[in-house]
Structure 1
Amino acid sequence: MDKVQRLRDVSDADVAAWHEVVAASVAHDFPGEPAPTLDQVHGQVTTSGLSSRHLLWVARADRTVTGVARLRLFEGTGRRHLGEFTLHVHPEHRRRGVGTTLLRTVARAARDEQRRTLVVEASSRTSGAAFLEANGFLCALSLSLLLLNVAEARGVEDIVGTEHPGYRLTRWLGMVPDDLAEAFAEAKSTMGDIPAGKMNYGTTTWDTDRVRDMAEVVEKRGDTLLTVAALHEKTIAGFTELMIPVGDGTRAIQYDTAVVSGHRGRGLGLWVKAAMLEWLRAEWPAVLEIETDNAEDNAHMLAVNERLGFRPLRQTRQYQCDPRMIH
């Protein structure tokens, strides 16, 4: 019988065992996809994330780690109801109750923390989706996972060179410059109207402290954060963010892209994303691919990504459940 242990002081051996489980899980479920590196896993299990803390568990059979789970507990007004978790079981130890034991552990901790909503993501082509549905989770948002070969992106130079009267491009590495911090926080606050299906994410308030804290969290993990923005006078009309993971940074991960409502319909989303690609090609040639996901009903952003050459990789789903329903 596998025993579940709470990790409090994470050792190098814990990180290595966690990485082994996650790497084996990814290799089994997504053949050909790059697995997280040891450095990336270290960042994930030692850094809780913005405005949150996390709890970690491992399942063991004798001395072998058979499964891992991480519960992220959001703090701050508007999100204290929410817990987000990830769960991996080594392929050689599946269908033995390891996943169920870990899930019950996560749900019990969420109840103890007075969380009303648990959210988790699973690919529609793996057994994870059926496992969640069997345990009372409901699909609240369907996502299209997309991938772009940076070298094959279409029309980058022409798009960047297109004139947008009244607007100009700017960019920064890591933390937002002080003179743009307030404008950037205001622009980030506009993301509340991005399609999110029935997901109960709660509300997030962005201010200058929060945008700085976000950059600090990324830096603490060892990752690299890039931002390109379109300026209109003293405001940020639109922006896009990209994260290059520590270690094998050949595949970058798209973070937020948004255009402020009063500036939509001018092609600014396409403009800033093309400018990001131009920057990558010039200064980060090791980045070969960009991964992004879009809500399937976000037709505008799907069209932008298709225009640049993103191709469908797979479908994924966001699930949610009241932890009181899991026993």
Structure 2
Amino acid sequence: MSVQIHALTTPPSAAQVDGWHEVLAAALACDSPDIPVPARSELAARPATDDPRVRSLRWLAAAPDGRPVGVAAVHLTTDPDGERPDHLDLYVHPGHRRAGAGSRLLATAADAARAAGARSLVADVVAGTPGDRFAPARGFRRGLALTWLRLRLDEATPPGDAVLPRPGYHLRVWDGVAPDDLIETLARAKTAMADMPLGDLDYGAFRWDADRIRVTSEAIARRGDLLHTVAAVSDDDGEIAGYTELVVPGAGDRPALQYDTVVVPAHRGRGLGVWIKAHMIRLARERHPGLTEIEADNADDNVHMLAVNTRLGFRVVRRTALYQLDLTR
């Protein structure tokens, strides 16, 4: 099949959004039926709500008769202080696989990323799907195994000791951007993520500061989503000892997504992780009575956080792997 690759305009046309949505809906229904399909309106709005420190390029693959058969996006980090690799999303319509669309899209995306100075691309692939065979066959290296879990809020009952106060700490809760008196210590706590398990990924790190936190939080708000943060703050010095973030979709049509959960190394072993997450579950119930589920991803190497999530009632829904493609060869 002769495939034509079209770069999406900014903003994308109605036909481009329709094609993008058609491919994504079909691919998710086939490979990952537990993942809700984004609404067409959300896809149309994405280019305008991208993080300003990320440059996103998107392509649509079409058959000779114009039918959409695949989509790809590369998300390039433009922040000079960022060291993390750039990311690739690639989907091919199940009815048009093994006909060259995926390979053409990958070649187009890799060439564009390489021209922009990217050193590698990372893609999240659902285990056992065609992508799990496609990626290694085209030079990707399997870097990190992830387990995705969901919590049913109508069934969740955190253990009684999970919500008990922790001596020497108090809770702070906020929406959106961190308050001025905590934003610097939050940046230091985020930097503590440098020791998170990364398997064999060459992942680098971000240099977190107050400005980066503001930009990231504001990008979530521009999408129409809500960011909630629960932090454990040390009574001794006012430093954040641990925090957890939850992003609730503004449209209310998908599970809430657990973002970071971090306990600073000097404060580990005191039950802070389960404490802040249990409080976040209670907050989600109170603030969003229509919300039914929370989803979290967990590196398989991070056995401690997997145990915390399991204790709180999260259950496995799928497994994925992060694959990395070296663009310097």
TM-score normalized with structure 2 length: 0.93
In structure 1, how many angstroms separate the alpha carbons of the residues matched to 2:82 and 2:214? 19
Choose from 101, 106, 119 the match for 1:103. Answer: 106
Q: Structure 1 pair 201/44, CA: closer, same or farther in 2 (3 Å)?
A: farther
Pairwise CA distance, 1:158: 4.7
Letter in 2 for 1:138: R
Distance 1:306 1:300, change over 3 A: same
Report the more deviating stretch, 198-207 or 60-69: 60-69
1:3 aligns to what?
4
Change (3 A) 1:63 1:248: farther
Whole-angstrom distance in 1 between the partners of 2:26 and 2:316: 24
Contact 1:71 1:83 (C-alpha < 8 Å) held by counterparts: yes
Equivalent positions of 1:192-231 (< 5 A) are 192-231=194-233
Tell me which residue corresponds to 2:188: 186
Give the direction of change, closer, same or farther, for the CA distance of 1:240–1:39 in structure 2 (3 Å limit). farther
TM superposition shift of 1:32 = 4.5
Alignment of 1:225-264 (within 5 A): 225-233=227-235, 234-264=238-268
Identity %, equivalent residues: 44
Q: What SS class does the counterpart of residue 294 from structure 2 fall into?
A: strand
Does residue 144 (structure 1) correspond to residue 144 (structure 2)? The answer is no
How big is the shift at 1:324?
4.7
**2:321 alignment partner, one of 289, 309, 317:** 317
2:133 to 124, 130, 134: 130
Deviations along 1:260-304, one digit per CA (max 9) or x if unpaired, are 111111111101100000011111012111111111110110010
Counterpart contact for 2:36–2:254, Cα < 8 Å: no
Q: How many residues align?
A: 324
Is 1:163 paired with 2:160?
Answer: no
> Which TM-score applies when normalising by structure 1?
0.94
- Contact 1:82 1:116 (8 Å CA) reproduced: yes
Return closer, same or farther for 1:10/1:50 CA change in 2, 3 Å cut-off: closer
**Structure 1 residues without counterparts, runs of 5 or longer:** none
Deviates more, 1:260-269 or 1:71-80: 71-80
Give the deviation of 1:200 after TM superposition: 1.5
Q: Which runs of 5+ in 2 are unaligned?
A: none
Partners of 2:10 and 2:47 within 8 A in 1: no
Give 1:71 shift.
Answer: 0.3
Tell me the C-alpha RMSD between the 2 structures.
1.7
Name the SS for the 1:262 alignment partner: helix
Q: Which residue of 1 aligns with 2:120?
A: 117
| Per-residue CA distance 1:148-192 (angstroms, 9 max, x = gap) | 1112223256522x1211111111111111121111111111111
Aligned residues of 1:15 and 1:45 also touching (Cα < 8 A):
no
CA contact (8 A) 1:48 1:72 kept: no
Give the distance between the partners of 2:135 and 2:81, measured in 1 at CA. 25
The match for 1:298 is 302
CA–CA separation in structure 1 for the residues paired with 2:281 and 2:230: 10
Q: Which amino acid letter does the alignment assign opposite residue 125 of structure 2?
A: A
> Structure 1: which amino acid aligns with 2:107?
R
- C-alpha offsets along residues 19-63 of structure 1, whole Å, 9 cap, x if unaligned? 221111111112344222224323434333362211111112233
Distance verdict in 2 for CA 1:246–1:197, change over 3 Å = same
